Amino acid sequence: MNNDNRLDGLIRKKIDIFCCPKCTQKLSVDGESLVCQSCTQQFNTSNDIPQLFIPTDWRNSKEDVTEKIKDFYETTPFPNYDEFDDIASLRQKSRDGLFAKLLEEQIPMGYNILECGCGTGQLSNFLAVGNRSVFATDMCMNSLNLAHSFKLQNDIQNVAFVQMNLFRPCFAEGVFDLVVSNGVLHHTGNPHLGFETILKLVKPKGYIIIGLYHKYGRVLTDIRRFIFNITGDRFKILDSTVSKLTKTEAKKDAWFKDQYKNPHESKHTLMEVLQWLDNSGVTFVKSIPKTVLFEYLTEDTRLFEPEGEYDKFELRVVELGMLANPKEGGFFIVIGQKN
Ligand SMILES: C[S@@+](CC[C@H](N)C(=O)[O-])C[C@H]1O[C@@H](n2cnc3c(N)ncnc32)[C@H](O)[C@@H]1O
């Protein structure tokens, strides 16, 4: 047996929650591979990562950007791990970002978590503590290999990496307490369909967290992209994250390419995503920015406590405010609870 192709213990233990991404029937373990009990399709493991990626199968294939985005992230895994990253520095850095810190503190122990589009798995590696089980999925093997190496180097037990297309899930419906997809759906041809597809994997009363580029929050990035395009990428200093990142050129480069050279991105509004939740019977719990003017995320914010009704006019003002104060490349986050 090849030692680089060992199926993760967590996957063996939780094989019941997997399904065939082709025919949605049950999968079983066959040595170091997974096999569909119905269509007999075999899914091999490479560098310990089961390869359950199936291409998107849409009638309107013009919409489909999966292959284009896959090619891009296979050569530009994101986010980049610093040369000196270990679990202590990853935890420190993640806690510096208040949202990740609150998530880590407030996601109950024992939760089954799925991350769709985990990239190099920094969030999943950070959240995999105690008796939580984290399945971190992405379509790019290059990113997953980096994620898995970090897990091995730091002996992180409760996370398993799986190659999956979020439009063709390899998990049964209703098996996760929490599904997270941060910075991913806007790089797909149909973010709303992506949302509906991964929502199916959430248990009743479970949570979904979606992070997307904001229509107004992204305006300054679009202006900078235009400047970079016409100047041959001079003035990178205009991007405050590039100028703040001091550790490695590779890390700066990964951020720059992700923000300015991405082959596809769409932009959205909070109002639009709240409508998605409404249409799918999901209760709005929290958003960042909050739907209330002059209320901000703080150490005391309870992420999973419903924020309550929002005022549409106030929400519009909050959204317009993102023009002037875009955070992290013009990003917003919505948390919902499935009914
Ligand atoms: C900007 S990165 C975000 C990584 C990570 N979530 C983060 O916040 O740092 C976007 C990731 O989405 C993944 N992705 C895009 N479309 C996908 C799809 N259809 N299925 C699975 N992963 C996808 C890409 O491979 C890439 O790693």
Interval 293-315 mean pLDDT? 94
- What is the reported pLDDT for 283? 97
What pTM was estimated for this model as a whole? Answer: 0.95
Give mean pLDDT, residues 267-290: 97
pLDDT at 325: 72
User: Looking at ligand 1, which atom is closest to the CA of residue 73?
Assistant: 25
Strand 331-338 to 282-288 pairing: antiparallel
pLDDT on residue 271? 97
Nearest to 322 by CA among 212, 223, 216: 216
Average pLDDT over residues 149-171: 96
Can you say whether the dihedral through the CA atoms of 51, 196, 61, 217 is positive or negative?
negative
Distance 321 CA to ligand 1 centre (A): 27
251 or 294, greater pLDDT: 294
Residues with CB under 6 A from ligand 1: 66, 69, 73, 78-79, 117-119, 138-140, 143, 165-167, 182-184, 187-188, 258
User: Could you tell me the pLDDT band of residue 1, with boundaries at 50, 70 and 90?
Assistant: very low
User: Which of 29-43, 81-95, 120-134 has the weakest average pLDDT?
Assistant: 81-95
List C-alpha distances in Å: 95 to 62, 126, 209, 224, 331. 40, 9, 18, 29, 18
- pLDDT of res. 81: 80
Hey, which of 115, 138, 221, 256 would you mutate to test ligand 1's pocket, going by the most ligand atoms within 8 Å of its Cβ?
Answer: 138
Q: Which of 182, 185, 179 is nearest to 207 (CA)?
A: 179
Report CA(183)–ligand 1 centroid distance (Å): 7
Q: Which CATH superfamily is domain 49-217+263-338 in?
A: Vaccinia Virus protein VP39 (3.40.50.150)
Closest ligand 1 atom to residue 164 Cα is 21
- pLDDT (0 to 100) of residue 238: 87
Residue 16 CA, ligand 1 centroid: distance in Å: 25
Mean pLDDT of 281-294: 95
> What is the token pair recorded at 148?
């898995």
Q: Is the pLDDT of residue 80 over 50?
A: yes
Q: Among 78, 179, 328, which residue has the most ligand 1 atoms within 8 Å of its CB, making it the best to mutate? A: 78
- From ligand 1's centre to the CA of 182, what distance in Å? 8
Express each pLDDT in 205-225 by its tens digit. Answer: 999 999 999 999 999 999 999
More confident residue, 240 or 109: 109
Picking from 135-139, 198-202, 227-231, 274-278, which range would have the lowest pLDDT averaged per residue? 227-231
Distance in Å, CA 168 to ligand 1 centroid: 14
**pLDDT, tens only, 26-66:** 999 999 999 999 999 999 999 999 999 999 988 666 689 99
pLDDT band at 3 (very low <50, low <70, confident <90, very high): low
State in Å: Cα 33 to ligand 1 middle: 24
* pLDDT of residue 118 exceeding 70: yes
Q: Which pLDDT does position 121 carry in this prediction?
A: 96
- For range 255-263, the mean pLDDT: 93
**Predicted local confidence at residue 308, as pLDDT:** 87
Ligand 1 atom closest to Cα of residue 194 = 19
